Amino acid sequence: QVQLVQSGAEVKKPGASLRLSCATFGYTFSHYFIHWVRQAPGKGLEWMGIINSNDGTKAFAQKFQGRITLTRDSSTSTVYMDLSGLGSDDTALYFCTREPDYKILTGEFLYPFDYWGQGTPVTVSS
Amino acid sequence: SHELTQPPSVSVSPGQTARITCSGDALSKRFVSWYQQTPGQAPVVVIFEDNKRPPGMSQRFSGSASGTLATLIISTTQVEDEADYYCFSIDVNNEQGAFGGGTRLTVL
């Protein structure tokens, strides 16, 4: 079955960098985009960026431009998110989720964010 | 930047209809999807492409969109519908995604 399995909890110091992974199972990796979404404690969902698992093209939220990198490893069906220059406001639960590539897939019930990873808690503290 | 605006909270009595709005300039050109989130859980899609329900989603959930305003409608609201609801869309001009700020639905 479809699963998105994220890497474990992280504790980082201010200024450090972070690498999170999202390993996917149970579907054709190249047929779906992967989005990254985070949620700070007690706050709302925040969209961070998207990567096309097929060709690697990406887009990021403006606030993360310059300190976020998204990569994918097609051989392991895994997507990585790197975030540099961490601050305390980066403390959050980080999710990956998938969206169909509608240029490849057709069907009545294709929709974004149908499966989510379990979330990776990240704490940034000195 | 791509911004979506939702009311912070909506309250209804059980059995009433709840309406949650989402406004943003980019909505006139791109579909909206809606997500329900309960504490400690990942979001669950309740509406996609403005007004479509995923398989198995209760028919009490529906959506509409016109111009720069999208609305999630929950009919015959039940206590189990209490949750945070988020709209999401992507700005076609720059492929920037955005969630609305979220609406806490209270059923009492």
Q: What is the pLDDT of residues B55-101, one digit of tens each?
A: 999 999 999 999 889 999 999 999 999 999 999 998 877 788 999 99
Q: What is the C-alpha to C-alpha distance for residues B21 and B25, in angstroms, rounded to an integer? A: 14
Are B69 and B7 in contact by the 8 Å Cβ rule? The answer is no
Q: What is the C-alpha to C-alpha distance for residues A66 and A97, in angstroms, rounded to an integer? A: 22
pLDDT (mean) for A82-95: 97
pLDDT reported for residue A104: 87
The answer to whether residue B89 neighbours chain A at the CB level (below 8 Å) is no
Are A97 and A49 in contact by the 8 Å Cβ rule? The answer is no
Nearest chain A alpha carbon to B49: A111
What kind and span of H or E run contains B106? strand B103-107
The answer to whether residue B88 neighbours chain A at the CB level (below 8 Å) is yes
Q: How confident is the model at residue A34 (pLDDT cuts 50, 70, 90)?
A: very high
pLDDT reported for residue B93: 76
Residues in chain A with CB shorter than 8 Å from the CB of B96 are 47, 59, 61-62
Are A71 and A17 in contact by the 8 Å Cβ rule? The answer is no
